[in-house]
Structure 1
Amino acid sequence: MTGNAITTMPRPCRCLNGVWAFAILTLVCFCLTTAATSAKPSLTPLSLTETPHLPHVNPKFRHPADLHQLFFLQRTINANTVVYTAHFDAAGNLDTETPVAVYWRRFQDQGQVMPLRWYERAFGFGVRLRTTDTPNALRLTFNGLKSHPLELRQTAPFTAAFFARINNRDYRLIYAYLDVDESGLFPKVTRLRLYTNDPLTGLYVTHTIAVSGGAYTE
């Protein structure tokens, strides 16, 4: 796919060769508050589960329901949540300047919005988008994992979604949840759960992935 770059550093896709890329992306996002990693994590798929309703993995943590929400990320360490939303123009089309916004929802406090810190935006959660040959679709890459694009698709006026290709199927991304072990000197990611929707069946699909070597130094 080719096109002109759309810079969306302060704000938030069928092109993904497996769940690995998204898992690595999520782990990169987790370590944004650290300066370096001690080792690259090893990822092992454990299961794929289909359910008629979207699971709420941690009922103690609120799920965001922001206007034009695309995706969110939560972790066991606290309720603070990273949220991605779409920006539209007055006609309901994705905004050409800043189609995606990303920010914190501080659910550990009062749920207020907090902008990303510069390093969170520059090295992990921030995104870049490029136009494609497909109408109403943009190629999206996260700054923390530029080699594995997703696709941002506009599906109707004022409606858009992130899509990933996993095991030769297109899934709509909803949220990710990281299990973090804080018992050692440094926090360690032990498991990733990626919650998606299968547009062909309407079912919600949970991809569970074990993580080893996911320790990060500050």
Structure 2
Amino acid sequence: MWWRSFVLMAAMLGELVGASAGEPGSFGYPVPQEPNQVFFLQRSMNSNTIVYAANMDAAGKLSRREPIKVYWRRYNDNGEKKNLSFAEDRFAFGVVAKPMPGEANAFRIIIRPYPDRSAVLRVVNGRPRLEAKLRGQEVQLISAFLHLEGEGSMPKVAKVDVWGRSWATGELVSDSFSP
């Protein structure tokens, strides 16, 4: 049943079709402001948020061993920061990073269960960003929101909203789909 989480992660870093409503953080949940944050994921289940943050040294270089860290910000537990479980990391939200050939300080970020879906993590003007295509446009990814139906440990994915900012126009680009 982990495939329901996979659907969100594949959509997040792939090219999507359709239209979306709302804006990042428009669902009433706290919006994380983590150091070197490049993306965040929220779900209708509760305000606990998955944060994707660049792992950089003092000189602004991405760690070659672990250029991106993925963890929970548990807003339901006083905002506690918590690592993903082994299963969450390996089967749902974790990533693999591969250096970009011929480009220093940049990595292709691949979702473990979807090796054909990827984004690029790079540092631009001293700031990390996660880049991908969204609705055919090159964007800096911002966030995703997963609308869930049902209760328990494996609720049904009803809809996914994804946001990014266009490189060309600076405008917010959103997309939505139902798995």
TM range (shorter): 0.7 to 0.9
Aligned residues: 170
Structure 1 residue 26 corresponds to structure 2 residue 13: no
**TM-score, length basis structure 2:** 0.84
Once residues 176 and 204 of structure 1 are traced to their aligned partners in structure 2, the CA distance between those partners, rounded to angstroms, is 13
Percent of paired sites with the same residue: 30
Who is 1:144 aligned against?
A: 113
Q: Determine which of 57, 61, 70 is the counterpart of 2:26.
A: 57
- CA shift for structure 1 position 200: 1.0
What is the one-letter code of the residue matched to 2:18?
L
Matched, 1:199 2:156: no
The CA deviation string for residues 27-66 of structure 1, in whole angstroms up to 9 with x for no partner, is: 799xxxxxxxxxxxxxx843157x9xx543212x101000
1:153 paired to 2:122: yes
The one-character-per-residue Cα deviations of 1:105-162 (angstroms, maximum 9, x if unpaired) are: 00112011011111111122221111122423211101132221211121122x1111
Q: For residues 151 and 8 of structure 2, what CA distance do their matches in structure 1 show? A: 24
Amino acid paired to 1:178: L
Higher relative CO (Cα under 8 Å, sequence separation at least 6) belongs to: 1
Corresponding residue for 1:131? 99
Say what the alpha-carbon RMSD is for the aligned residues: 2.6
| TM-score of the aligned structures, taking structure 1 as reference length | 0.70
Gaps of 5+ in 1: 1-22, 30-43, 212-218
Which stretches of structure 1, 4 residues or longer, exceed 4 Å deviation after superposition? 183-186
Cα distance change, pair 45–167 in 1 and its aligned pair in 2 (3 A) = closer
Query: What runs of 5+ residues in structure 2 fail to find an aligned partner?
Result: 1-5
Amino acid of the residue matched to residue 146 of structure 1?
Answer: P
Task: Give the letter aligned to residue 118 of structure 2.
Answer: P
Q: 1:115 aligns with which of 71, 79, 83?
A: 83
